[in-house]
Amino acid sequence: ELKVEQNPLFLSMQEGKNYTIYCNYSTTSDRLYWYRQDPGKSLESLFVLLSNGAVKQEGRLMASLDTKARLSTLHITAAVHDLSATYFCAVDSLIQGAQKLVFGQGTRLTINP
């Protein structure tokens, strides 16, 4: 059974600081995704990581993938208040003959001025 675990689950940080969210998964994956969710809203796609060693950056967010360690990281550089949200990683894998997306629990990020 594919399991996806994120840590930390809650993160409160100061503006201007750097931090990393970790995403571990238990079995071979085809793709790894990072999503952002604002309160009461749907999921916004941030990154799609396709292969080992993949690194993608958008503004103050950078995501990487290590398929050998089954680990992805979402790094936040010089955090700003607008990045406050819940971040999910999700792993796409062929399970019982069908492609399925399995989510981590989410990391609720609060950035304080």
Contact footprint for another protein (CB under 8 A): 4, 9, 30-31, 33, 41-43, 45, 48, 50, 88, 90, 92-94, 96, 98-106
Please say which residue, 68 or 96, places its beta carbon nearer to another protein: 96
- Rounded to whole angstroms, the Cα distance separating 103 from 43 reads 12
Angle 55-109-31 from CA coordinates, rounded to 5°:
35
Please say which residue, 13 or 43, places its beta carbon nearer to another protein: 43
**Structure tokens that stand for 42 in this block:** 């749907």
Give min distance, CB of 90 to another protein, in A.
8
- Rounded to whole angstroms, the Cα distance separating 97 from 94 reads 6
The helix/strand/coil state of 94 is strand
Please say which residue, 81 or 100, places its beta carbon nearer to another protein: 100
Give min distance, CB of 80 to another protein, in A.
25
Give min distance, CB of 85 to another protein, in A.
14
- Rounded to whole angstroms, the Cα distance separating 25 from 49 reads 14
